[in-house]
Amino acid sequence: MNQIPLAIPHMSGNEQKYIQQAFDTNWIAPLGPNVDQFEANLATYSGAKDVAATSSGTSAIHLALTLLNVQAGDTVFCSTFTFIASINPALYIGATPVFIDSETDTWGMSPVALGRALEDAATKNKLPKAIIVVHLYGQSCKMDEIMELANRYGVPVVEDAAESLGSTYKGRQLGTIGAFGIYSFNGNKIITTSGGGALLSNDATQIEKARYLGSQAKEVAPYYSHSEVGFNYRLSNILAGIGIAQLDVLEERIAKKRAIYDAYKAAFENHSGITFLSELEGTFNNRWLTTVLLEKMSPEDVMEKLAAKGIESRRLWKPMHTQPLFETATYYSEETSNADILFEKGLCLPSGTQLTEGQLDYVCKTLMEIIK
């Protein structure tokens, strides 16, 4: 069989219509009618008051931290079990990340570890300027517990929902619960604009400020006038056109992702050596990637054996507190470091929405042969 990828872009077939409109009207540079429509469509879908389309999810996080007045020397509490893009914006500013462990139900930020970290910070009169929680692999964190702690200590929450567009927590779209939320439309996400992201909030004034900062902080004047540091973070009109067409098929993509997860779960439901990330009660998981924990084999070995059969897979995120870049960082774990265990046991399986039934069956049979 041909190589079976982990997850790749899946076009709807309608993208070219909006791309052509951009060319026909010469709206090639950032901003334009497609950007306006994409932002409006995202706001309608998410229920957020307003949305600013950005060049990446990373830039959206950077804007969120800037709007929250995070400065050099401040601390930002971050999930350790994530991709480094969740952390880098704090470093751009000169803030110090403090890492928080995962809990085992959702693999998201542990309220237990977060509570200890906030208590310590309050004792030292050094509360963080923000908490960045990451909704992993489409699954929501335990937001009630996290928001209760954040509100108790007066610390704003940024929701990194890069992997979780379309997922919900108690009926609310992820990204709309904290002060800010972010989405990513990178090539491997559930929908894509090639490269791109979005910043959302229920404070429309803040999103308008984000648009201003993300457009080089240009003031209204008959000449170029700047009073603040700005960034070149706005999405291009061409890429926004792709996003409009992609958003139209989001529900189809979610349905296919969930069907892929269900097929894997059914194939291995009687096998004790493999367990799946569950769906927390009251949440809806878009199942961006189907992820498993292997109890009897190393994920590295399984990944190599799958690759030899033409199947791409990937280890789970290597915790940030174990990265060389953060060797001196502070880390708050639960009694046992859950994030380290997840990395040691975890594997992502092919979850692209182009997967055929035959390919999915081949992956299941191959994986079964390997773990037996």
Q: Which residues are tagged catalytic? A: 189
Check if the beta carbon of residue 96 is closer than 8 Å to that of residue 74.
yes
CB-based contacts of 331: which residues, under 8 Å, 6+ apart?
A: 80, 98, 99, 100, 101, 321, 337
Containing H/E element for 84? none
- At 219, which amino acid appears? E
With CA atoms as reference, report the closest residue to 163 among 131, 190, 200, 141: 190
- DSSP class per residue in 328-357: T--EE--SS-HHHHHHHHEEEEP--TT--H
Please count the other Cβ atoms lying within 10 Å of the Cβ belonging to residue 301. Answer: 12
- At 13, which amino acid appears? G
Sheet strands side by side (includes 180-184): 50-54, 197-201, 180-184, 157-160, 130-134, 75-79, 96-100, 331-332
Q: How far is CA 207 from the centre of its chain?
A: 19
User: Strand, helix or coil at 59?
Assistant: helix
- Distances from the Cα of 286 to the Cαs of 124, 146, 321, in angstroms? 40, 21, 27
Helix axes 250-267 and 357-371, enclosed angle (nearest 10)? 30
